[in-house]
Chain A
Amino acid sequence: MKRFSIFSIARNALTGHRHWEKMWRSPDPKREYDVVIIGGGGHGLGAAYFLAKEHGITNVAVLEKGWLGGGNTGRNTMTVRSNFLREDSVPFHEMSLDLYHQLSRDLNYNLMVSQRGMITFIQSSAANRIALQMANTMHIYGAEYRMLTLDEVKQKIPIFDPSPNMRLPVRGGVYQPRASMVRHDAVAWGFARAADARGVDIIQNCEVTGIQQEKGAVTGVETTRGLIKAKKVGMAVAGHGSVVASMVGQRLPITTQPLQAWVSEPVKPVLNEIVVIRSYYGTYLMQSDKGEIVVGQGCDPYPSYAQRGTFPIIEDATTSMLEVFPSFGRLKLLRHWAGMLDIPYDGSPIISKTNTRGFYIDVAGSGGFKTTPAAAKTFAHLIAKDTPHPLAEKLGLERFSSGRLIQEGGVSANR
């Protein structure tokens, strides 16, 4: 792997950029691997990278049914943060932030980690209470989460222009300085290039159609490019967890629902921080480096694999955005899209063994982009050692049969 730098660009400029090498190979699949990872997104590619780097396992294939990074890695709103409620969540997400802040150098690939900070508006006393609970728990694990007065919020966000008759008046905010925006595609490409350089085979356009097992242990995968034997198989297929797991008869505590995101036309910088309106399950928005206002809200209200969303979500989020940024009324929606989230019952990631020996799963939780490096690292650990990483010990499937859930999301009564 030739290292990237400003000098390598200058050197290549002299030859008209005709001599850049491939960022990764496109090998044909071998007949057998030590580990096969299903899913060439950030989680899968990252797991392969950590298997090679930290565990010396390089006879690894990552199988991607489409193009790498084409699932949720390329569809999210690029936000990474660690403001969570539970003692079993916070350290895991903190590790992810730590890793994100050092990955550009480790991978020799600029992930464009932009530490903008996140401000969540407090608009009721109940939201205030949750913010405090979160902040105090986070502090124990060294994560900064600070309460802001209304004046401090106004200072940080000059275009914040609350209407005098706001339905939910903003009382203040809560601020995570370390929350960041990360160039999503770069995460997949950076991991892919680094894993490829360590010998991992990345195989695109290769869909897994079945999983072979013998005596309760996995032996290989059937794919659209033939049978590939494997001693261990890891699944990191955001949005298709139930589909792949069903190949070994494993039912999962998840539903797959679209999560939409959309952007405005690009404008000059107006918004530095990532802003969350109507507290934790509300509307979030931020401005990308390119100048687009990127917006998202909660999941669509029914399961779907359609990779498109329902428009009322956008309408609803727009009303809450205009409530605090009324000048955005003449900005325009440029593009909207959806990813598919595998949402666990309790909203927390699942990194786990299964009933089939040698078959491991990584289900991302309430939006897996933020957890990519931590999930990849702990998933690699689990696959390599067959025992969970200390920071992911509670994230196994056992928590469902024992009832010790890691409740991070709202839970509806009828499920």
Chain B
Amino acid sequence: MLEIPCPWCGLRNESEFVCAGEADRKRPPDPEAETDEAWADYLFNSTNPKGVVREWWWHVAGCTRWFQIDRDTVTHEIAPVKERSK
């Protein structure tokens, strides 16, 4: 049971969150400029690293914020990522 640092609510159990995938997966600004392969890479592929991954988490049961953390997929150590201003 992970303890996730929500930037607003503080430390909470993983059960309050949704792990929402790798943060470097960004929707291409102009999808039509992408080749089929590049588009498939965006849609389906992951880096899926063994080690630290920057990922989105959604505090769905709390403040409903989406935020990023750096999480080690082996040790489960977590480091918060400073929020960029909106």
Contact = CB atoms under 8 A, between A and B. Distances in A.
Interface of A: 240-243, 246, 251-256, 301-306, 310-312, 345, 400-403, 414-415
B47 A401 contact: no
A253 B39 CA distance: 12
A312 B50 contact: no
B40 A252 contact: no
A414 B14 CA distance: 18
B36 A304 contact: no
Contacts of A415: 21
Contacts of B50: 240, 242-243, 256, 305
Contacts of A311: 1
A415 B39 CA distance: 13
Interface in B33-86: 36-37, 39-41, 43-50, 53, 55, 73-76
Interface of B: 1-2, 14-15, 18-21, 36-37, 39-41, 43-50, 53, 55, 73-76
Given A310-B2, A401-B37, A304 B76 contact: yes
A401 B14 contact: no
Contacts of A306: 73-76
Given A305-B73, A306-B74, A252 B48 contact: yes
Given A251-B45, A255-B46, A301-B19, A401 B73 contact: no
A253 B19 contact: no
Contacts of A242: 46-50
A402 B37 CA distance: 9
Question: Quick one: which of A246, A254, A415 has the most chain B CB within 10 A?
Answer: A415
A185 B48 CA distance: 28
Contact of A302 (B14, B43, B46, B75): B14
A303 B45 contact: no
A246 B51 CA distance: 13
10 contacts: A241-B48, A242-B46, A242-B47, A242-B48, A246-B49, A303-B19, A303-B48, A310-B14, A311-B1, A312-B1
B73 A256 contact: yes
Contacts of B43: 345, 400
Contacts of A400: 40, 43-45
B53 to A, nearest CB: 7
B60 to A, nearest CB: 11
A242 B1 CA distance: 25
A228 to B, nearest CB: 22
A251 B41 CA distance: 8
B76 to A, nearest CB: 6
